[in-house]
Amino acid sequence: MNHFVHPILKTPLIRKENGWFCAKTNRLFEDKMSFNCFIDKSLTHENDLSVQQFYDNRAEAYDQNLHFTFLTHNENEAKVRESFIQKLNLKADSKVLEIACGTGRDSELIATHLSKSGELALLDISPEMLKICKNKLSTSTTEISYCLASADALPYPDNYFDAVYSFGGLGEFSHIKKSLAEMVRVTKVGGKVVVGDESMPIWLRETYFSKVLSLTNPQFSAEVPLKDIPVEARKLNLSYVIGGVFYLIDFEVGEGEPPGNFDFPIPGLRGGTLRTRYEGQLEGVTKETKEKLQEFCKKNGVSMHDFLEKAINNELRN
């Protein structure tokens, strides 16, 4: 990727020899460890810095032991990961962002779906994790960029990617709602977002199965973040995967709130439309007055909406 934006201001950055320069703030984001770096104490949450340190200290062990998650649930890791990536609907020339890419176990598979004309942006909070990821992908022919940044302050322009993917890190993001909003911001309309992490289903939480797993990983107590899904989400699917104790959410990105046909006339005594019933509510009247109006409208074959519209407009004109 040859252009970035300020992670907070979203203004374009200029490439310099040793980093990315923001003309608006007269600030240089210096490259670190050959990565585009947008992490520092002034822009990054304290929790993110703590997570960074945690994974920097465990990057090698993390990569060597992660397969135990799939072994525990008798799952084939490669097949499961590939099934997640299939939901991105990738083409050979797709532009893809993976957030919290870690040591690149999904990144390797995503790259196989892309050609030389595709683009893969890999982002993580931990440089040590990203080093392992970069080494794994050293022979890939796909254009790949590596970035150190927080998930809720993405240094990418609006509507840039065809798909965004993040599995296994969402529960540790400082602000899940903002991070999901950022994913939508950088995704083209019609593009896909696929995210997931641990969450023990509520119907299993009192079982022996749950207690064994939760002892070693308290994050299984996390809730599925449905309340944080952006309003732009369309055709959303939720499934439980990897032994039924991880959630996977995929959706298409739309524009703003879902559209609705609120203006067709509703037959019957009340009449009006969904929109007028919502937007045109009047001050309450007595029960007797309402009943008199209902009888009058029934007798004259007119809806209450049409009668009130006409009567009020006539009165206002007078």
Between 204 and 1, the more confident residue is: 204
pTM of the entire predicted model: 0.91
| C-alpha 232: how far from chain center | 10
| Spatial distance between the Cα atoms of 299 and 184, rounded to a whole number of angstroms | 53
- Please, what is the end-to-end C-alpha distance for the chain in angstroms? 66
| Spatial distance between the Cα atoms of 28 and 58, rounded to a whole number of angstroms | 30
Q: What local confidence, expressed as pLDDT, does residue 43 receive? A: 75
Q: What local confidence, expressed as pLDDT, does residue 257 receive? A: 95
Has residue 42 got a pLDDT over 80?
no
Calculated CA dihedral for residues 140, 120, 13, 192, nearest 10 degrees: 180
Going by pLDDT thresholds of 50, 70 and 90, the confidence category of residue 294 is: very high
Tokens of 56: 């920097």
Tokens of 63: 């990569």
Q: Are 180 and 253 in contact (CB under 8 A)?
A: no
* Element of type H or E holding 272: none
Tell me what percent of the residues of the chain surpass a pLDDT of 70: 100
Q: What local confidence, expressed as pLDDT, does residue 284 receive? A: 82
Mean pLDDT for all residues in the chain: 95
Q: What local confidence, expressed as pLDDT, does residue 302 receive? A: 94
Has residue 154 got a pLDDT over 90?
yes
Q: What is the pLDDT of residues 84-121, one digit of tens each?
A: 999 999 999 999 999 999 999 999 999 999 999 999 99
Beta bridge partners of 145: 121
Q: What local confidence, expressed as pLDDT, does residue 130 receive? A: 97
Q: What local confidence, expressed as pLDDT, does residue 283 receive? A: 77
| Spatial distance between the Cα atoms of 117 and 136, rounded to a whole number of angstroms | 20
| Spatial distance between the Cα atoms of 200 and 130, rounded to a whole number of angstroms | 28
